[in-house]
Amino acid sequence: MLENTNRTDISTLGEFGLIEHLTSQFEIKNNTTLKGVGDDAAVIKVDGKCLLVTTDLLLEGIHFDLSYYPLKHLGYKAVSVNVSDIYAMNGTAKQITVSIGMSSKFSLEAIEEIYEGIKSACEHYEVDLIGGDTSASKQGLILSITAIGEAEEKNIVYRKGAKDGDLLCVTGDLGGAYVGLQVLEREKIVFLADPNAQPDLDGHDYIIGRQLKPEARKDVIDFFKKAELLPTSMIDISDGLSSEIFHLCSQSEIGITVYEDKIPIDPTTYNMAREFDFDPTMTTMNGGEDYELLFTIDQKDYDKVKNDHNITVIGHCVPRGEGIHMISKSGNKHPLKAQGWKAF
Amino acid sequence: MLENTNRTDISTLGEFGLIEHLTSQFEIKNNTTLKGVGDDAAVIKVDGKCLLVTTDLLLEGIHFDLSYYPLKHLGYKAVSVNVSDIYAMNGTAKQITVSIGMSSKFSLEAIEEIYEGIKSACEHYEVDLIGGDTSASKQGLILSITAIGEAEEKNIVYRKGAKDGDLLCVTGDLGGAYVGLQVLEREKIVFLADPNAQPDLDGHDYIIGRQLKPEARKDVIDFFKKAELLPTSMIDISDGLSSEIFHLCSQSEIGITVYEDKIPIDPTTYNMAREFDFDPTMTTMNGGEDYELLFTIDQKDYDKVKNDHNITVIGHCVPRGEGIHMISKSGNKHPLKAQGWKAF
> Is the Cα dihedral A23, A25, A26, A27 positive or negative?
positive
Distance (Å) from the C-alpha of residue A168 to the closest C-alpha of chain B? 26
- Are both A137 and A201 inside the same structural domain? no
Distance (Å, whole) CA A105 – CA B55 = 24
Cα angle for residues B129, B71, A20 (degrees, 5° grid): 40
Distance (Å, whole) CA A40 – CA A160 = 11
Distance (Å) from the C-alpha of residue B84 to the closest C-alpha of chain A? 15
Residues in B touching A65 (Cβ below 8 Å): none
The mean pLDDT of B327-337, rounded to a whole number, is 93
Buried b (16+ CB within 10 A) or exposed e, B143-176: bbbbbbbbbeeeebbbbbbbeeebbbbbbbbbbb
Distance (Å, whole) CA A263 – CA A237 = 13
Whether residue B62 and residue A37 make contact (CB cut-off 8 A), yes or no, is: no
**Which residue range(s) make up the domain with B242?**
167-335
Distance (Å, whole) CA B36 – CA B265 = 34
In the DSSP assignment, the letter for residue A181 is H
Does a structural domain hold residue B148? yes
Query: Contact, B66 vs A1, CB < 8 A?
Result: yes
Phi, psi of A209 (to 5 degrees): -60, -35
Distance (Å, whole) CA A195 – CA A199 = 10
Last residue of a domain, one of B126, B155, B184: B155
pLDDT exceeds cutoff 90 at A20: no
- Are both B51 and B114 inside the same structural domain? yes
Residue B194 binned pLDDT confidence (cut-offs 50, 70, 90): confident
Does a structural domain hold residue A242? yes
- Are both B97 and B173 inside the same structural domain? no
Which of the two residues, A284 and B13, has the higher pLDDT score?
A: A284
Residues in A touching B25 (Cβ below 8 Å): 115, 119
The mean pLDDT of A264-273, rounded to a whole number, is 96
- Are both A251 and A146 inside the same structural domain? no
Residue A8 binned pLDDT confidence (cut-offs 50, 70, 90): confident
- Are both A25 and A137 inside the same structural domain? yes
- Are both B217 and B150 inside the same structural domain? no
- Are both A181 and A93 inside the same structural domain? no
pLDDT exceeds cutoff 70 at B199: no
- CATH number of the domain enclosing B115: 3.30.1330.10
Q: Convert the pLDDT of each residue in B225-248 to its tens digit.
A: 999 999 999 999 999 999 999 999
- Are both B85 and B21 inside the same structural domain? yes
> Which of A34, A57, A68, A79 best tests the B interface by mutation, with the highest count of B CBs <10 A?
A57
- Are both A198 and A240 inside the same structural domain? yes
Distance (Å) from the C-alpha of residue A221 to the closest C-alpha of chain B? 18
The mean pLDDT of A206-216, rounded to a whole number, is 95
Whether residue A66 and residue B42 make contact (CB cut-off 8 A), yes or no, is: no
Q: Provide the pairing of β-strand B128-136 with B92-102.
A: parallel
Which of the two residues, A230 and A203, has the higher pLDDT score?
A: A230
Distance (Å, whole) CA B309 – CA A326 = 69
Does a structural domain hold residue A107? yes
Whether residue B97 and residue A55 make contact (CB cut-off 8 A), yes or no, is: yes
Which residues, 6 or more positions from B117, have their beta carbon under 8 angstroms from its beta carbon?
Answer: B71, B72, B73, B74, B75, B76, B77, B78, B79
- Are both B128 and B176 inside the same structural domain? no
pLDDT of residue B339: 62
- Are both B131 and B63 inside the same structural domain? yes
Distance (Å, whole) CA A220 – CA B301 = 54
Last residue of a domain, one of B113, B132, B155: B155
Domains contained in chain B, number:
2
